[in-house]
Amino acid sequence: MSERTSYAPGTPCWVDLATPDIEAAERFYGELFGWEIPELPNSAEMGGYRRAKLGGRDVAGAMPLMQEGQPPAWSTYISVDDADAIGCAVQENGGTMIAEPMTVATYGRLALFTDPEGAFFGIWEPADFAGSELVNEKGAVGWNELESRDPEGAKRFYGAVFGWDAVDHDMGEMTYTEWQVNGKAVGGMADIRGRVPDEVPAHWMVYFGSVDTDEAVAKIEELGGQVMFGPVDIPAGRFAMVTDDQGAAFAVMQPSEQTLEQAREQGRI
């Protein structure tokens, strides 16, 4: 099993769901992934925030929508060793601060931003809480991917802020970028120009592990979710982009043997 107790700085470490109905989310993701999303003793003082558990391990967060008109969405958080310094770097390189670094109980420090294209993301400086305790398993996060219409600009921004190296892969119809830290893959970037409707903004997509992508897609539709794209086969595996029953977008993927072997070599599973 891919258990985690820490993350190297620059590595996505947590995801959470903003949803209009947490109880409905627990039913949907419980049926799909086997999650439990219990109310925590301090949920009320944390604005209703909860942590989804898989086999007793924290795998994601869930919270109510914070303001009128806010769309349901999954968000990605990147582990850092100094939230204040990273916050400055984000703004110096064209990003926008949405929420300045704040202390979250004894867990750590959080800050929220958009990159120069408007893609929303967060950073997390850990204290008592490092992030997801289980990754790269069925029902746990397997990949975080930036959907961008300005890949070269994104390379400059994320390289300057997090020190990411951008390794491009020729995928035929498009070039796919793999983000690396010290030679290890930490995420990816897809060029969505001409592939995604213009009204869809740049964003971070969360991929969850699936033993059988087709089976997962059928279950998602049964539970009231929708399929936006796929399932299709790519070198990394078989994947589909979907929404839950409240409209939050995410992806499910059954990794290929090549992907699994690379993850083993890099110590990610």
CA-closest candidate to residue 26, choices 54, 46, 45: 54
Residue 168: its pLDDT value, please? 94
Most confident listed range (55-69, 73-87, 193-207) = 73-87
Q: Which residue has the tokens 């929420």?
A: 99
**CATH architecture of the domain with residue range 141-265:** Roll (3.10)
Summarize pLDDT for 205-263 with one digit per residue, the tens: 999 998 899 999 999 999 999 999 989 998 888 999 999 999 999 999 998 777 777 76
Output the furthest CA–CA distance in the chain (Å, rounded): 50
pLDDT digits (tens, 9 = 90+) for 94-141: 999 999 999 999 999 999 999 999 999 999 999 999 999 999 999 999
Residue 22 has φ and ψ, to the nearest 5°, of -65, -35
Cis peptide before 231 (omega within 30 of 0): yes
- What would the mean pLDDT of 190-197 be, rounded to a whole number? 91
Angle ∠(234,212,22) on CA atoms, nearest 5: 105
Inter-residue contact 149 to 202 (CB < 8 Å): yes
- For 22-63, what is each residue's pLDDT tens digit? 999 999 999 999 999 999 888 888 899 999 999 999 999 999
- Across the range 182-203, mean pLDDT stands at 93
| Residue ranges of the chain assigned to CATH 3.10.180.10 | 12-126, 141-265
Domain 12-126 classified CATH 3.10.180.10? Answer: yes
The percent of residues above 90 in pLDDT, for the chain, comes to 81
Q: What per-residue confidence (pLDDT) applies to 269?
A: 57
**Can you count the helices (H) and strands (E) in the chain?**
5, 15
Q: Which token pair is 5?
A: 């107790």
